[in-house]
Amino acid sequence: GAVVSQHPSRVICKSGTSVKIECRSLDFQATTMFWYRQFPKQSLMLMATSNEGSKATYEQGVEKDKFLINHASLTLSTLTVTSAHPEDSSFYICSARGLGQRNSPLHFGNGTRLTVT
């Protein structure tokens, strides 16, 4: 149980374009989804927290207008990197938590490797 699917696993885009990453909970309803990114040799850093039907809460230093998060349903959250630049190249990964799962392990997708050329 608690499977999180993330798509695509890899994406290469040109500078200035936008990229959408999807995170789906396959066998549970994800009331909360978390988005992280990981630069080489660095730890995973929380970018934002999204609750279904509400606006996302962004961590300090993360531009909400650049990283658009939508969590319109209980099984899908999307992260759109707008006007991507080479410095946005990173590993993006989501995790999800369901109702009543506060004491349960957080489960993660397999991540998306974004390369901006």
The answer to whether residue 109 forms part of the interface with other proteins (CB under 8 A) is yes
CB of 20 to other proteins, least distance (A): 18
Distance, CA of 85 to CA of 63 (rounded, Å): 13
Nearer to other proteins, 4 or 19 (CB): 4
Distances, alpha carbon 109 to alpha carbons 9, 18, 43, 63, in Å: 10, 21, 16, 23
Nearer to other proteins, 84 or 93 (CB): 93
The answer to whether residue 28 forms part of the interface with other proteins (CB under 8 A) is no
Amino acid at 64: K
Which is nearest to 28 in space by CA: 93, 105, 80? 105
The answer to whether residue 11 forms part of the interface with other proteins (CB under 8 A) is no
The token pair at 64 is 């909400």
Site residues, other proteins (CB under 8 A): 6, 32, 34, 36, 41-46, 49, 93, 95, 102-111, 113
